[in-house]
């Protein structure tokens, strides 16, 4: 494995790929493109402007913004200046942002919209340290003399005498230096600053390169938060390979943009695949008998064809002809929903149901599910086009060792493991023992070397009967339903499992209208006895594969979506169970009394 400092990598690729398109972004309804050559120029401009702002080697510079192309340029610019990039989730509260800014001793912050700028300005005003603020948006109302818009910040680099110093910094940079400090989203307490090196990312690129075919002409849609290590690591790899990254600031428009961008490679969290799956099956449920029959035949034919090819078995003429017909009539149209044919999809960040994996595979789309943590940069294991098994998260990536200890916890060791937690040596010592990262997840490795996640140590529910339950397994099964947007399972210390269910209100309203139900607000709708009965039926259907003690006995239908602002979700849309239990304690008590 060749270790590579990210600044050197991107400057080298800018020269190597020249006029090839590096990225696309949309403004005012129009897509714009930037070549690798121009990207290299813009990155240098940012780096020189940082030097002019007296950013020294090792200084921390934060980025507090939704996804946009400037995010990537600023990130690489920071690294070229040998600073340390500190991403802040665009949805973070002022208090969350302030914790990161202070803990990391940030000296300069790039911000996106007015809301993010105002939070940082407030922090800067109340703090002892002077923080310079650079706003990506030119229409943000700036205050004070420490704020500047991005275009003005960059233009100040023109004619600078720091070009020579920049070249020296890039040349002197070391792959084992810290590249970034990524703060965990804090599902189990105070956020921790994970220190990742350039070498950590070199390993991840090496691992992907070994198993995935990515290069010039490939297109990826960048819609997961760049503040999360998953999308960011993938984006580094995209640029390393000369592919194109297309930026989307609003993840809710991902499916719409997939039709425009037509990405042929992409990473995502399971929720996107679940949404597509449930939408397709809901439409089929409402279709005519003949259309339902055609759909069932086409997917079944696609499944037979795909699995025979996967298993290396011959495909006879009859099946080949049937598959060609199924593809023309149904499967090709299903793939069009996600922008057409793909080399592969990737899924991470949470568990993806096996039946959804197999559905996509049957229609000609491979979803390679992987597993990892922020602390592992993030990949530990991954299914690949050459070696995949549904229901698992794949085999260990190259040079990474994985073992299961006597308690069932997954341990990992390798060049992907973090340097440690910033300002928290004791916390670091607790999770890295003799080089092995304690993941906090429970799993098992099968005879073929594939890892299966079975639970999380801190997230296990123990019923009063003594039964241990992994709540995310139940949530994954039930959340497949088209009428369920979110679900949080509870029951620790209780006699049975219960849940708080958030409907997919668009689908539910359509269902209610068709049946002539009357309501004014979502709260009215969720309290109708017909709706309660309907959801009991939906939950029962999706729970058929669960053991009796795992099945949801009681549930509360909530009339508002879980959100980051409400405190129930992390920025990567994971449910913060402790927060849900605290916030809805009265509703939970009512289910057990």
pLDDT in tens, 429-442: 999 999 999 999 99
Q: How confident is the model at residue 185 (pLDDT cuts 50, 70, 90)?
A: low
Q: How confident is the model at residue 389 (pLDDT cuts 50, 70, 90)?
A: very high
Strands 432-433 and 420-421: unpaired
Nearest Cα neighbor of 233 from 34, 374, 370 is: 374
Q: Which residues contact 315 (CB under 8 A, 6 or more apart)?
A: 305, 308, 309, 323
Q: What percent of the chain has pLDDT over 90?
A: 83
Distance of alpha carbon 499 from alpha carbon 469, whole angstroms:
13
Q: Does domain 460-592 have CATH number 3.40.640.10?
A: no
Asked if residue 576 has pLDDT above 90, the reply is: no
Query: What fold, for 270-456?
Result: Rossmann fold (3.40.50)
Tell me the sheet residues that pair with 539: none
Distance of alpha carbon 523 from alpha carbon 30, whole angstroms:
39
- Whether 6-173 shares its CATH topology with 270-456 is answered yes
Q: Per mean pLDDT, which range of 154-163, 358-367, 421-430 is the poorest?
A: 154-163
Read off φ and ψ for residue 47, nearest 5 degrees.
-60, -45
pLDDT of residue 130: 84
pLDDT of residue 570: 82
More confident residue, 519 or 271: 519
3-state SS of 21-90 is EEEEEEECCEEEEEEHHHHHHHHHHHHHHHHHCCCCCCCEEEEECCCCHHHHHHHHHHHHCCCEEEEECC
Cβ 571 vs Cβ 91: under 8 Å: yes
- Show the tokens assigned to 169: 């910094």
pLDDT of residue 467: 84
User: What are the sequence ranges of the domains in the chain?
Assistant: 6-173, 270-456, 460-592
Counting other chains too, the contacts that 367-372 makes at CB distance below 8 Å and 24 or more residues apart are: 367/273, 368/344, 368/394, 369/393, 369/394, 370/346, 370/394, 371/441, 371/451, 371/453, 372/230, 372/348, 372/416
More confident residue, 328 or 573: 328
pLDDT of residue 379: 98
* CATH no., domain 6-173: 3.40.50.980
User: What is the tens place of the pLDDT at every residue in 464-475?
Assistant: 888 888 898 899
Tell me the sheet residues that pair with 26: 31
Q: Which whole number is the average pLDDT over 236-240?
A: 98
State the chain's mean pLDDT as an integer.
94
Q: How confident is the model at residue 189 (pLDDT cuts 50, 70, 90)?
A: low
User: What is the tens place of the pLDDT at every residue in 31-90?
Assistant: 999 999 999 999 999 999 999 999 999 999 999 999 999 999 999 999 999 999 999 999
Q: Which whole number is the average pLDDT over 553-569?
A: 92
Asked if residue 410 has pLDDT above 80, the reply is: yes
pLDDT of residue 41: 97
Q: Which whole number is the average pLDDT over 260-286?
A: 91
């Amino acid at each position: 494995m060749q270790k590579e400092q990210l600044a050197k990598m991107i400057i080298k690729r800018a020269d190597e790929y020249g006029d090839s398109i590096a990225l696309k972004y949309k403004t005012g309804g129009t897509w714009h493109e930037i070549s690798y050559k121009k990207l290299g120029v813009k990155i240098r401009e940012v780096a020189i402007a940082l030097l002019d702002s007296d950013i020294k080697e090792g200084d921390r510079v934060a980025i507090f913004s939704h996804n946009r192309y400037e995010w990537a340029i600023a990130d690489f610019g920071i690294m070229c200046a040998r600073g340390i990039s500190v991403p802040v989730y665009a949805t973070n509260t002022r208090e969350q942002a302030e914790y990161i800014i202070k803990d990391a001793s940030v000296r300069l912050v790039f911000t996106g919209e007015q809301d993010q700028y105002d939070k940082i300005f407030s922090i800067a005003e109340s703090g002892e340290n002077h923080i310079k603020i650079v706003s990506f948006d030119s229409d943000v109302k700036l205050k004070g003399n420490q704020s500047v818009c991005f275009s003005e910040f960059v233009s100040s680099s023109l004619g600078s005498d720091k070009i020579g110093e920049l070249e020296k910094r890039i040349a002197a940079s070391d792959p084992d230096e810290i590249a970034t400090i990524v703060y965990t989203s804090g599902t189990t307490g105070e956020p921790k600053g994970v220190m990742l090196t350039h070498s950590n990312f070199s390993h991840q690129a090496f691992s992907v390169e070994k198993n995935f075919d990515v290069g010039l002409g490939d297109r990826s849609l960048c819609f997961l938060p760049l503040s999360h290590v998953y999308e960011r690591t993938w984006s580094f790899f995209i640029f390393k390979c000369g592919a194109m990254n297309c930026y989307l600031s609003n993840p809710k428009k991902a499916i719409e943009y997939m039709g425009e961008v037509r990405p042929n490679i992409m990473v995502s969290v399971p929720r996107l695949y679940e949404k597509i799956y449930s939408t397709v099956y809901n439409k089929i449920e409402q279709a005519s008998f003949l259309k339902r029959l055609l759909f069932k035949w086409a997917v079944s034919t696609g499944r037979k064809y795909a699995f025979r090819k996967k298993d290396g078995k011959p495909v006879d003429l009859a099946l080949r002809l049937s598959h060609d017909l199924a593809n023309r009539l149904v499967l090709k149209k299903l793939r069009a929903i996600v922008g057409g044919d793909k080399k592969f999809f990737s899924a991470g960040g949470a568990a993806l149901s096996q039946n959804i994996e197999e559905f996509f595979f049957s229609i000609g789309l491979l979803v390679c599910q992987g597993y990892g943590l922020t602390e592992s940069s993030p990949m530990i294991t991954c299914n690949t086009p050459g070696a995949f098994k549904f229901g698992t998260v794949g085999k260990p990536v190259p040079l990474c060792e994985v073992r299961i200890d006597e308690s069932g916890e997954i341990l990992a060791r390798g060049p992907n493991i973090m340097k440690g937690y910033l300002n928290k040596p004791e916390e670091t010592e607790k999770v890295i023992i003799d080089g092995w990262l304690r993941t906090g997840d429970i799993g098992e490795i099968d005879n073929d070397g594939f890892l299966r996640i079975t639970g999380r140590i801190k997230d296990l529910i123990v019923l009063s009967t003594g039964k241990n339950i992994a709540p995310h397994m139940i949530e994954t099964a039930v959340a497949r339903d088209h009428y369920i947007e979110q679900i949080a399972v509870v029951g620790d210390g209780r006699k049975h499992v219960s849940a708080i269910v958030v409907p997919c209100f668009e689908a539910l309203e359509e269902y209610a209208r068709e049946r002539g139900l009357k309501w004014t607000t979502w709260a009215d709708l969720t309290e109708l006895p017909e709706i309660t009965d309907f959801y009991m039926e939906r939950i029962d259907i999706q729970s058929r594969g669960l053991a009796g003690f795992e099945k949801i006995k009681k549930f509360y239908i909530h009339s508002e979506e879980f959100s980051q602002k409400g405190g129930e979700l992390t920025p990567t849309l994971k449910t913060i169970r402790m927060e849900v239990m605290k916030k809805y304690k009265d509703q939970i008590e009512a289910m057990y009394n």
